[in-house]
Amino acid sequence: MILKPLLVKSLIDRVRGTIAWALGVAAIVAVQLSVYPSIRDSQSEVGNIADAFPEAFQKIFRMQDYTSEIGYLSTELFTAMLPLIFIAIAVTWGSRLTTEEEDSRTADVFFALPITRRTYTATRFMAVAVVLLLVALALLLSLVVGTEILDFSVPLSSFVAGAWVNLLLGSIFTSLAAAIGSWTGRRGVALGVAVTLAIGFFVLYSLAPLVDSIDATTPFNPLQWTIGTQPLSNGFDVGYSMTAILVTAAFIALTFIGFQRRDIKT
């Protein structure tokens, strides 16, 4: 059950943050798109510069065919910048999902109302999902409008797939942070652990092409399930998308269980 008044309150509390993130994503996309025409006009020179980078650097940042439209956007936006933004949104608000009332010392008042913990948790998850969806839509819209203005030939389906994988990535880390917070009851712990894990996964994903032993961890890395599928080039990866959805569902279930069992501190 979703409690509409609580959902509305949660969304209102996040309006300014959502607008800021959406505008920030749109601005980053606009800046990166505005640079590409100069690269397109001097492909041979830029291609030589890109090829001159150390091989390790090229592998870490997935610099494949950098001067092409898809190669440029993949390297500049989808390798690091956008994923880190969605992870930041996810861990920031996911860590607050079941701990905010305790942190603000309103738990005694809030949970005296006729609201079950299950309803509270489901509604809060819905609010964060709406925020992530709105930011993903801002990403998609800015890509579509910007590339139309600059006469890119990348199909719409590629941009939809790119927005989709970032939405999935945000969902995974939202549910992860929420699960940690639901069991510990401490926002700082949830945020710290989630950020540490995110950094760890990102480092492993970046170094996987260089180290064989790390490459073995790739199938278990959330970044591989999402941006690692190269959505602009390859479109949707149904198998990895299902993996991401199932892992998210598992963390959500752990959040419900942990919050149901925990003593709420007032």
What is the pLDDT at residue 19? 94
What is the pLDDT at residue 110? 63
**Assigned token pair, 15:** 């309006």
What is the pLDDT at residue 266? 56
Please report where in the chains the tokens 């180290």 appear, as a residue.
Answer: 211
Q: Quick one: DSSP state of residue 14? A: T
Cα(253)–Cα(136) distance, rounded to whole angstroms?
Answer: 24
What is the pLDDT at residue 98? 84
What is the pLDDT at residue 221? 95
**Residues 57-78: b if buried by 16+ CB within 10 A, e if exposed:** ebbbbbbeebbbbbbbbbbbbb
Cα(236)–Cα(228) distance, rounded to whole angstroms?
Answer: 11
Are 81 and 28 spatial neighbours (Cβ–Cβ below 8 Å)?
yes
The tens place of each residue's pLDDT in the chain, 266 residues long, gives: 557 777 888 888 888 999 999 999 999 999 999 998 888 777 666 555 556 655 655 666 666 777 788 989 998 899 889 999 999 999 999 999 988 777 666 665 666 667 788 888 899 999 999 999 999 999 999 999 999 999 898 999 999 999 999 999 999 999 999 999 999 988 899 999 999 999 999 999 988 877 778 888 889 999 999 999 999 999 999 999 999 999 999 999 999 999 888 777 65
What is the pLDDT at residue 14? 85
Q: Whole-model pTM?
A: 0.90
Cα(79)–Cα(67) distance, rounded to whole angstroms?
Answer: 15
